[in-house]
Every structure is written in structure tokens, then in C-alpha cells.
Amino acid sequence: MKKILAATALAGFLAAGPAFAQDATTPAQVPAATTDMSTPSTPAERFITIQAPDDWLASRMIGSAVYGPGDEKLGDINDVIVASNGQIKAVVLGVGGFLGIGEKNVAVNPGALERVRQENSVRYQLATTKEELTAAPEFKALDAVDASTTSSTTPAEPMTPATPAPAAPAAPAQ
């Protein structure tokens, strides 16, 4: 319930923000026309309304099996890496192991992954062997690399036991 209220409040704030930002005494500035076509200007150019027949959905890719040339299962698609420019940089495959235990991630070029349509499904194929993927370098996500370099269960320097302070002399008996 709190999430719904917070989302509603945020949506209202975002919708009302531009109204508060404009000054009633000065008209809004109209940007100068540019010939730069890198950013679409009409809604039809900015939004996609239907998937093209050759488009791939990441939600359907992730978790799908990938097969080699001999119909050997190589692994499963665990993730998709998207570069800062929006282009797909790599497809991360989980290879080796059993039921996710002992599995390692290997990032492959998306151009090497082939999507083959079958009757009512899609199958992903890669022209490599299980041995090559097992021998390939492991892909580590940035947050996994940061966690492994910053957290440690062992102290940086060995701890030496503290020597006890000398006992204070006893007060003389009277």
C-alpha cells in the first residue's frame, strides 16, 4: 500500500513539476530548429508500438537454452549487457555446473548467437563447443567485482595480541 501511495505521489509531483517551473510573466523559449537527426522529433519516431518479426525480446532470451553445432546444450542465457549507447554489447551464458551450482558466466558477442525459428518456438545456437566455453574467461559483473575487492573476511594486517599492562603496585598495608 505504501508503494502505491509513494508511486502516486511521485507521479503527481512529476506531472506538476513543469507547471511550477514556468514563470507566468515570461513566455517559454522555443528551441531553435536543428538539422540534427540523431534524436527523433515526432512521437512516431520516438516510440515503437509493435515488435518487428526479426526483433528479439530480452525477457524471452533470458533463461533460454543455447545449443552448439552438434545439438549439444552449451548453457543458458543468464543476462544481456547493454552499452551506454544502447547497443547490445554481449550475451552472458551460464556454462558448466549442475542446476546453477558450479556454473560460470561467459560473455559472448551477440553477433555470434544465432536465433533459429522452429515450428512454434525459437532456438538459440552458438558455433562453439562446451569445452571452449568452459575454457573461456569468466565474465564478472561490475557489482560482483566491486564486492570481491572491497569485502574481506580476513584483516588487512595480522593482529598481534596486546600485551597486558603492568599491574599497579599494591597499596602498603597499615
pLDDT category at 64 given cuts 50, 70, 90 is: very high
Q: How many CA atoms lie within 13 A of 166 on its CB side?
A: 3
Position 84 scores a pLDDT of 94
pTM: 0.58
The CATH fold of domain 58-149: SH3 type barrels. (2.30.30)
Enter the C-alpha cell of residue 100: 546453477
* Distance (Å, whole) CA 93 – CA 76: 5
Among 34-38, 99-103, 131-135, which is the least confidently predicted range? 34-38
Task: Assess whether pLDDT exceeds 90 at residue 93.
Answer: yes
pLDDT at residue 160, rounded to an integer: 54
**In which band, very low, low, confident or very high, does the pLDDT at 26 lie, cut at 50, 70 and 90?**
very low
Name the residue with higher pLDDT: 119 or 76.
Answer: 76
The residue count of the chain comes to 174
Residue 80 has pLDDT above 90, yes or no: yes
Residue 78 has pLDDT above 80, yes or no: yes
Max mean pLDDT among 91-95, 144-148, 150-154, 167-171 falls in 91-95
